[in-house]
Amino acid sequence: MMALLHVEGLVVGYGQFPVLHGVDFTVQEGEVCVLLGLNGAGKTTTVSTIAGLLRPQSGRVHFAGRDLGHKSPSARVSAGISLCPEGRRVFPGLTVRQNLKLGAWTRRKSSAVVRDQMSLVLDYFPRLSERSGQLAGTLSGGEQQMLAVGRALMSRPKLLLIDEASLGLSPTVARVVWEVTSRIKADGTTVLMVEQNAGALPFADRALIMEKGTLVYTGVGDEVQQVNLREAYLGA
């Protein structure tokens, strides 16, 4: 397997002071990886930097063997990186289908790709299929989360970043979203999901744990199930 994503020595902050203190990790092509950590650990900062929304003070992001340098967020989408941001942020006044189409902006010249991705997404989430003509603002929280993930998939990414899909959802609805990651993986998209909720672990091939802007653990999901690790890093 090759490293699809290689993050090297990332130092990122919002002012003078960094909140990431030299973060290194890789995500292999064809895996579902979960980045766990408590609120404020630096998870959103990490995925925002990978997506090009934040500039690192130092360090690099390599994707498919290339240094992304100062590539813009939209150039990164074209290169195959798609972020489903924290807090869902669907367009409430547009329908499910219109929201999905907007996610395919970088692919708009290829109507076949847009059509294929649309049917794939509606197949992953039958609830969206039933509500495809409904305004996004009238969906439940869980359905809006499915829509946000679906919209991020519309660019047919090689790497899908999902930031806290489970936030504010019931355990049952969170599972629906986590379970879909195995199908997304099987269809050729590598997944890096960010979670505070250790309930995501059984759905991941590998886990990374972040604490105060530093990675403190990398390993297979099963090990993290051990009580001592959960207590030490996740407050669970």
Ligand X SMILES: Nc1ncnc2c1ncn2[C@@H]1O[C@H](COP(=O)(O)OP(=O)(O)O)[C@@H](O)[C@H]1O
Residues that bind ligand X in the complex, under the rule CB under 6 A: 14, 19, 37, 39-45
Q: From Mg ion, ligand X, none, which one binds at residue 103 (CB under 5 to 8 Å depending on kind)? A: none
Residue 26 or 44 having the CB closest to ligand X: 44
Residue 143 or 163 having the CB closest to ligand X: 163
- The closest residue (CB) to Mg ion is 44
Q: How far is the CB of 58 from ligand X (least distance, A)?
A: 17
Q: How far is the CB of 3 from Mg ion (least distance, A)?
A: 24
Q: How far is the CB of 117 from ligand X (least distance, A)?
A: 28
Contact between 97 and 133 under an 8 Å Cβ cutoff? The reply is yes
Go through 190-212 and write b for each residue having 16 or more CB atoms within 10 A of its CB, e for each that does not. bbbbbbbbbebbebbbbbbbbbe
Q: E strands, the chain, where? A: 3-13, 18-28, 32-36, 58-63, 66-67, 81-84, 159-163, 190-195, 206-211, 214-220
**Distance between CA atoms of 157 and 112, rounded to whole angstroms?**
15
Residue 33 or 139 having the CB closest to ligand X: 33
Q: From Mg ion, ligand X, none, which one binds at residue 19 (CB under 5 to 8 Å depending on kind)? A: ligand X
Q: From Mg ion, ligand X, none, which one binds at residue 45 (CB under 5 to 8 Å depending on kind)? A: ligand X
What tokens were used for 211?
A: 């604490």
Residue 157 or 213 having the CB closest to ligand X: 213
Contact between 153 and 117 under an 8 Å Cβ cutoff? The reply is yes
Q: How far is the CB of 86 from ligand X (least distance, A)?
A: 7
Residue 121 or 215 having the CB closest to ligand X: 215
Listed in sequence order, the residues at least 6 apart from 115 whose beta carbon sits closer than 8 Å to its beta carbon are: none
